[in-house]
Chains A and B, each alone.
Chain A
Amino acid sequence: MLEITWLIPALPLAGFLVLLAGGRRLGEPLAGWLATGAVTGSFLASVVVFFGLQAEGEDGRTFVQTLYEWVPAGGFSVDVGFLADPLSITMCLFVTGVGALIHLYSIGYMHGDPGFTRFFVYLNLFVFSMLMLVLGDNLLLTFLGWEGVGACSYFLVSFWHTYDANASAGKKAFVTNRIGDWGYMVAMFLTFTALGSITYTDIFRGAGGLATTTATGITVLLLVAAVGKSAQLPLFVWLPDAMAGPTPVSALIHAATMVTSGVYLLVRMNPVLAQAADWAPILIAGVGGVTALFAASIAVAQTDIKRVLAYSTVSQLGYLFLAIGSGAYVAAVFHMVTHAVFKALLFLGSGSVIHGMGDEQDMRRMGALRKLMPITAGAFIVGWLAIAGVPPFSGFWSKDEILLFAWEESPVLWALGFVTAILTAFYMSRQVFLTFFGEAHWDRPLEEAVPELARQRGLRPATVSGGDEPMTDDDTDEGPAEETDSSEVENIYERGHVPHGVGPREAIQPHESSWLMTLPLVALAVLALVAGVVQLPFSEDTKLLEHWLEPVVAPDEAVLDVAGSLQLGLAVVAVVGGLIGIAAAVSLYLRRRRSEQPAVPRVLARGWYYDSSLAAFMGGPGRKGFEATAWFDRHIIDGAVNGVATLIRGTGGEVRRTQSGFVRAYAGIVTGGAIVAVLVLVLRGVVL
Chain B
Amino acid sequence: MILAEVSSGWYLSLGAVLFSLGAVGLLIRRNPLVMFMCVELMLNAVNLTFVTFARDLDDVGGQVVVFFVLVVAAAEVVVGLGIIVSILRRRPSATADDVSLLRG
Contacts and interface: CB of A to CB of B under 8 A. Distances in A.
Question: Does A pair with B?
Answer: yes
B26 A664 contact: yes
Contacts of A659: 102-104
A497 interface: no
A661 B103 contact: yes
Interface string B28-39: 101000010000
B7 interface: no
Contacts of A656: 104
A661 B26 contact: no
Contact of B96 (A658, A663, A668): A663
B97 interface: yes
Name the interface size band of chain B. Answer: 10 to 19
Contacts of A664: 26-28, 30, 35, 96-97
Interface of B: 23, 26-28, 30, 35, 96-97, 99-104
Contact of B23 (A658, A661, A671): A671
Chain A residues touching B, majority SS: helix
Interface of A: 656-664, 667-668, 671
Contacts of A660: 100, 103-104
Given A656-B104, A657-B104, A663 B35 contact: yes
12 contacts: A656-B104, A657-B104, A661-B99, A661-B100, A662-B100, A663-B35, A663-B96, A664-B97, A667-B23, A667-B26, A667-B27, A668-B27
Contact of B101 (A657, A661, A667, A668): A661
B104 A658 contact: yes
A611 to B, nearest CB: 63
B57 to A, nearest CB: 15
Nearest to B99: A663
Contacts of A661: 99-104
A384 to B, nearest CB: 84
Contacts of B28: 664
Nearest to A671: B23
A667 B42 CA distance: 13
Contacts of B101: 661
Given A659-B103, A664-B35, A667-B26, 8 more contacts: A659-B104, A660-B104, A661-B99, A662-B96, A662-B100, A663-B99, A664-B27, A664-B97
A662 to B, nearest CB: 6
A656 B102 CA distance: 11
A81 B30 CA distance: 76
B67 to A, nearest CB: 24
A77 B70 CA distance: 59
Contacts of B30: 664
Given A656-B104, A657-B104, A662 B97 contact: yes
B36 to A, nearest CB: 11
Contacts of B97: 662, 664
A687 to B, nearest CB: 13
A637 B28 CA distance: 52
A658 B26 CA distance: 19
Nearest to B103: A661
Contacts of A668: 27
Nearest to A653: B104
Nearest to B96: A663
B95 to A, nearest CB: 10
Contacts of A658: 104
The 6 closest A-B pairs by CB, nearest first: A661-B100, A659-B104, A661-B103, A656-B104, A663-B96, A661-B102
Q: Which of B26, B27, B35, B104 counts the most chain A CB atoms within 10 A?
A: B104
A663 B102 CA distance: 10
A657 B103 CA distance: 8
Nearest to A655: B104
A281 to B, nearest CB: 69
Contacts of B102: 659, 661
B97 to A, nearest CB: 6
A661 B102 CA distance: 5
A659 B100 CA distance: 10
A656 B103 CA distance: 9
A578 B104 CA distance: 87
A671 B96 contact: no
Contacts of B26: 664, 667
B29 to A, nearest CB: 8
A662 B23 CA distance: 16
Nearest to A663: B96
B20 to A, nearest CB: 10
B60 to A, nearest CB: 23
Contacts of A657: 104
A553 to B, nearest CB: 72
Nearest to A675: B23
Contacts of B27: 664, 667-668, 671
A107 B64 CA distance: 96
B81 to A, nearest CB: 15
Contacts of B23: 667, 671
Q: Which of B30, B35, B97, B99 counts the most chain A CB atoms within 10 A?
A: B97
A316 B62 CA distance: 93
A544 to B, nearest CB: 84
A1 to B, nearest CB: 77
Nearest to A668: B27
A566 B23 CA distance: 109
